[in-house]
Amino acid sequence: MKKLPIFIIILLAVGVLTAMSKTVKTDDADVRKADYIYLESLRERSQGNSDAAFALLERAYELNPSDKEMGAEFAGYLLTLSKGDSAEVYRAVGMLKDYYDHNPTDYYTGVKYALLNEQLAERDEALGTWAKLHAYFPDRVEITYRYADVLGHGGDADERARAIAIYDSIEVMDGRSIPLSTKKIQIYYTDGDTASILTEVDSLRKSSPADVDNLVFSGDIYSMFGRNDEAKGFYDRACEIDPSNGVAYYSRAQFYNSIGDSVAFDREVFQALKQDNLDVDTKLMILRSYIQEMYNDSVQQPRVRQLFDVLIEQHPHEHDIHDLYARYLIVAQDYEKAAEQTEQTLDLDPADKEGWEMLTSLYLQVENLDKAEEAVIRSLRYYPDEPRPYLVLGSIYNQRGEPQKGMEEFGKALELTDSTNVALLSSIYGSMGDCLYSQELADSAFTYYKKAILYDPENYLALNNCAYYLACEGRDLDEALEMIETVIEAEPDQATSMDTYAWVLFKRKDYAKAREIIDRTLEVTDELSADVLEHAGDIYFMDGEPDKALEFWKDALKLDPDNELLGRKVKHKTYFFK
């Protein structure tokens, strides 16, 4: 091979060295600049300027992508800002991996990386990371547990066996416990190894034969496999060792419930709740479960109420017991008794906003407007700047025949309502429409109804009322029909809306369709009102069945004997156009 002249070799060497020198200088400059920007990013973050911190960190990482620590920091931001973008998530995970591979003793980053891989269903990577963490931190029992957990789920039989071995090693150090046995039992259950499950339970129980929790746990496991005689023996033994243990009684109650012995179930629940030293939260848990079993059975209502009476006698000043009792009574439709219990909850916690709303609703349910008004006014001592109580108060005044006072309260509600709360604004405007119509100010009422619908096109109450009163006035019937059809589409079996629908059709002289809808209304209405019955009579009369119409009018008149127009219809057996 032909050799180059020596001076050319020297020139080439000098050129290479010069180029290398320039590259190093550029890289050093970028590194220094990146370090400076990174420090600025940390300063911005310390001052709570997250956006500025992220922008600076991103620029620093662009300048020096080989900085593993900076990459890990940047990955944290990417994960926070990814919003489900899988590409960004995996990019961030890759940065964490790059950092952790070079810093395997960084405990917190390792845990974060392992958990991320679990979330991404990257089991092998997660398992490898937990194994590495376990090797570096053998004394961190939470890592040992997590490593065993991942080994025991989703892997093969060998991995599950290794998981069992790790749990056994924890047991040697920390002793037997229900949580530890539960983890092993879950693995045995996956393998269908019933014998090992029962052996594990027996070993746990024998390690502390007088431990009530272990006996109850044994009963639960044996019951799960249909070993009912043995299960009952464990529950009985637990109650015998600690006769005041409400959890033991309740576990035995659940056992009786599972085998269909309702009498024993009932007895055991009472035994559990009567224990004075059982904490209130546990009693409430038991009671809620019992109510779920029994609340559909009206025959059991006296028993449930007796349980509440026992608990209230034991714990008269526990807000949550009175609150649960009130809610149960609402389900049982005993609204007056529910109001009494709600009053007691508010005596114990007068700042309970939901309690005040419930109390007001209960008094309205029993049509005690004076009590409802009093409840709202009392609530305003604690929430004077809340708009909703003023809305309710305005509706109470309007219902009581004091529309001017009602409008004043609606005005206060408007003043206090945030302009972005369109649903509440819509409710207020709708209520103002009701109030104005009751004063025979129809034009103003329709203005407010339409404002309510503009704010919230799904305000079905405003749509219904506007459509109904338009029909009553005999105006804009096409618009009224469109409104009520919107409501019916959303609430197809709501009796009030169906009555409005029938009335709009009647006013449009579509008598056959109106009759079809009023028939459906009569079917779904629990308690027929004079208005619905009168509408039915009017519709049947105009559809050619005057005899049936007269029956409806007579029934309506029984409910509203002072209705002069109804009286005329019945007397003359004909429809009057007012």
- The CA distances from residue 23 to 34, 67, 144, 364, in Å, are 16, 18, 47, 82
Residues 6+ apart with CB under 8 A from 95: 71, 72, 74, 75, 78
Instruction: Going residue by residue through the chain, which has 578 residues, state the pLDDT in tens, using 9 for 90 and above.
Output: 334 443 333 333 334 334 333 343 437 787 788 777 878 878 877 888 877 877 887 787 777 777 788 877 778 777 877 777 888 888 888 889 988 999 999 999 999 999 999 988 999 999 999 999 999 999 999 999 999 999 999 889 999 999 999 999 999 888 999 999 999 999 999 999 999 999 999 999 999 999 999 999 999 999 999 999 999 999 999 989 988 787 888 889 889 988 988 888 888 888 778 777 677 888 888 788 777 766 566 667 788 888 888 889 888 999 999 999 999 899 888 999 999 999 999 999 999 999 999 999 999 999 999 999 999 999 999 999 999 999 999 999 999 999 999 999 999 999 999 999 999 999 999 999 999 999 999 999 999 999 999 999 999 999 999 999 999 999 999 999 999 999 999 999 899 999 999 999 999 999 999 999 999 999 988 888 999 999 999 999 999 999 999 999 999 999 999 999 999 999 999 988 76
Q: What is the CA radius of gyration of the chain?
A: 37
Looking at 259-385, list the stretches that DSSP marks H as alpha helix, in order from N- to C-terminal side: 262-273, 280-294, 301-314, 319-331, 335-348, 353-365, 369-379
- The CA distances from residue 341 to 89, 328, 357, 500, in Å, are 52, 10, 14, 37
pLDDT at 475: 93
DSSP 8-state class, residue 177: -
CA distance 490 to 507: 22
In degrees, rounded to 5, the angle at the alpha carbon of residue 145 between the alpha carbons of residues 143 and 148 is: 105
Please give the distance of CA 279 from its chain centroid, rounded to a whole number: 26
> DSSP letter string over 128-151?
HHHHHHHHH-TT-HHHHHHHHHHH
Look up residue 361 and give its two tokens.
């609703």
Rounded to the nearest 10°, the torsion over CA 187, 189, 194, 195 is 0
CA distance 497 to 471: 13
Do the Cβ atoms of 534 and 527 come closer than 8 Å?
A: no
CB atoms near residue 545 (< 10 Å)? 15
Rounded to the nearest 10°, the torsion over CA 307, 313, 317, 321 is 0
Do the Cβ atoms of 321 and 308 come closer than 8 Å?
A: yes
The total number of residues shown for the chain amounts to: 578
pLDDT at 277: 67
What region, left, alpha or beta, does residue 343 occupy, with left being phi > 0 and alpha being psi -120 to 50 degrees? alpha
Residue 122, phi then psi, degrees to nearest 5: -95, 75
pLDDT at 295: 58
Residue 228, H or E segment = helix 228-241
Residues 6+ apart with CB under 8 A from 562: none
Residue 175, phi then psi, degrees to nearest 5: 90, 170
Do the Cβ atoms of 251 and 235 come closer than 8 Å?
A: yes
- Residue for token pair 């007269």: 550
Helix (H) and strand (E) counts for the chain? 31, 0
Q: Percentages helix, strand, coil for the chain, rounded to the nearest 5?
A: 80, 0, 20
Residues 6+ apart with CB under 8 A from 255: 219, 223, 228, 231, 232, 235
CB burial of 117-131 (b: ≥16 within 10 Å; e: otherwise) equals bbeeebeebbbebbe
Residue type, 153: H
CA distance 253 to 239: 11
CA distance 163 to 166: 5
CA distance 266 to 262: 6
Look up residue 480 and give its two tokens.
């009224």
CA distance 207 to 184: 16
Look up residue 429 and give its two tokens.
């405007």
DSSP 8-state class, residue 509: T
pLDDT at 453: 96
CA distance 147 to 202: 26
Look up residue 241 and give its two tokens.
């060792």
- Residue for token pair 């114990």: 348
Residues 6+ apart with CB under 8 A from 453: 426, 459, 462, 463, 466, 483
End-to-end CA distance of the chain: 122
Do the Cβ atoms of 160 and 191 come closer than 8 Å?
A: yes
Residues 6+ apart with CB under 8 A from 564: none
pTM (predicted TM-score): 0.61
Do the Cβ atoms of 214 and 178 come closer than 8 Å?
A: yes
CB atoms near residue 460 (< 10 Å)? 22
pLDDT at 17: 34
Q: Is 564 exposed, middle or buried (0-12, 13-18, 19+ CB in 10 A)?
A: exposed
Three-state DSSP at 4 gives coil
